[in-house]
Structure 1
């Protein structure tokens, strides 16, 4: 398959752009970069977006820029939040296809070539990714993920139902997508479950192809955002520091975002209605969480009102 193509200005433009948002990622960064450099598909370029790291992330990244001209690096002087750092990588790359990569995961040598081949074989698809296997801090295999989601079903309403109603890992987030199609989504929105939202938005535009090959190694370790911030509210601050002092309603927000995603999607009205009706299952699954979110948010607003009168 083709490598690098030329842009309009005559400068080399990759077929596949990769963006790696990092923050204090020194522990696993070299292994992640080695796995990308070992890909059997050469036509990629990687932009490492450093969110004001204070460890050796910058040193390691610059060493790899010297080793491989396809790798570039930018450092933000302040922490933009994980969401903006992700989106910076999308907006400052230009390949026909795009994928986010993280500095703690490992990609087997055929990961990107297989994803690209799958998209070319299935032009109706919105995304392609492979089976994920968890590894520990030492790189030992711990778990294979078989979630049996119908994200590749021809019926958009069934895709939407599974991806909103069922609790699942968001491995499609690391899949390969057409840049123009991804630009129609919210990218990494500045709130918890933004990865789920983007996957739903992709599924509303086409099936998500899962390749039954174990080519993606997902690292479980204490530094993951889900481990640092185990609650949705605490993750809001990591994703966007501007949430400090504000009161989020996480469950209500993601439900609202699902509705808006359907309304924005380029679907016939009939299919939009069918998708919206599928949210009945989401409501059945989440009604207790919705009540808890309303109660907690209301209580916090009441406290703010009392302080304002004092």
Structure 2
């Protein structure tokens, strides 16, 4: 059987990745499955990234290199790769991560033989900045339940235990990914994407293919420790603006449920699963709501602002009275 387009598209988003980029590209080119294209989107790097990419592209016709004139943020850089992709299946491959040579071969086999599967991901290990294996990193996102509502419930139970999103670097059915907004411009949008892909179909772990997540000081979660910095990393246009990441996560989940066709009762059951997150996120949601309200109040006359601020203080006291919020004077012990 012959195909007019590559079976697989590998998308590599990169910004100033000179230290690890060549190793990541070598991991792609070492795959035993050969029918793929490799697309690199360079987010206006200022180091040797461009030279490395052009050198690899000159040596292998499967590689296409694109450079952004300015840094657009991670969200647009990730999503542009999918817009440029031609493959039946798609995989994001970070510039600093690795995967075993049999990864594509095994993942393609699973997706070809099981049309109900939307994502096939590898067992995950963590490596350090020198490439040394420092431990197994369980993903635990095998979602093979027959119904979308059952998979979505299992997805939420799993994310309540731990927030590992390495499955987003698995091989994804392109027509399923095309029905989503892809990566959102807010923190933890990859969790929302995995939830929508679980609503569309099964997510499976490959037992003998491996993904190696590199932990190093320049990785985004370590380099951008403040929430405001992380948000600007996702979307540079949000720098200095009001942001509501926890509300965006909630609304992202609701929009995903709405998009995926399901019977009404199943859809309502999926919305009901979100109830577990409101107690867990209550302080963040409350604080974001207050910040949003303050932002809206700024242009109002002073007497109206004073009245509404009094209302917000009343809500806070009521929340403390019923145990939703800890009083400001109360401090959590550093030894607890």
User: TM-score, length-normalised on structure 1?
Assistant: 0.90
Deviations 1:102-150 (A, max 9, x none): 1100111001111111112221111111111000001111121224345
Task: Find out whether 1:208 has 2:206 as its counterpart.
Answer: no
SS at match of 2:190: helix
Q: CA 1:197 to 1:278, structure 2 compared with 1: closer, same or farther past 3 Å?
A: same
Conservation of the 8 A alpha-carbon contact between 2:127 and 2:213: yes
Aligned length: 300
Task: Find out whether 1:251 has 2:249 as its counterpart.
Answer: no
Distance 1:277 1:70 in 2: 45
Conservation of the 8 A alpha-carbon contact between 1:98 and 1:177: yes
Aligned to 1:266: 261
SS at match of 2:38: strand
Distance 2:70 2:209 in 1: 37
Q: Which ranges of 4 or more aligned residues in structure 1 deviate by more than 6 Å?
A: 303-306
Task: Find out whether 1:176 has 2:171 as its counterpart.
Answer: yes
Task: Find out whether 1:5 has 2:3 as its counterpart.
Answer: yes
Instruction: Return 5+ residue gaps in structure 1 as ranges.
Output: 7-12
Deviation of residue 292 (structure 1)?
A: 3.1
Aligned to 1:193: 188
Conservation of the 8 A alpha-carbon contact between 1:152 and 1:210: no
Deviation of residue 163 (structure 1)?
A: 3.2
Root-mean-square deviation over aligned CA pairs: 2.2
Deviation of residue 241 (structure 1)?
A: 1.2
Conservation of the 8 A alpha-carbon contact between 2:107 and 2:121: yes
Task: Find out whether 1:290 has 2:249 as its counterpart.
Answer: no
Aligned to 2:70: 78
Task: Find out whether 1:26 has 2:18 as its counterpart.
Answer: yes
SS at match of 2:82: helix
Deviations 1:203-260 (A, max 9, x none): 1101111112351111011111111222443222111111123201111110111111
Match of residue 215, structure 2, among 217, 220, 239? 220
| Larger deviation, residues 293-302 vs 248-257 | 293-302
SS at match of 1:227: helix
Instruction: Return 5+ residue gaps in structure 2 as ranges.
Output: 306-336
Task: Find out whether 1:107 has 2:104 as its counterpart.
Answer: no
Aligned to 1:10: none
Aligned to 1:122: 114
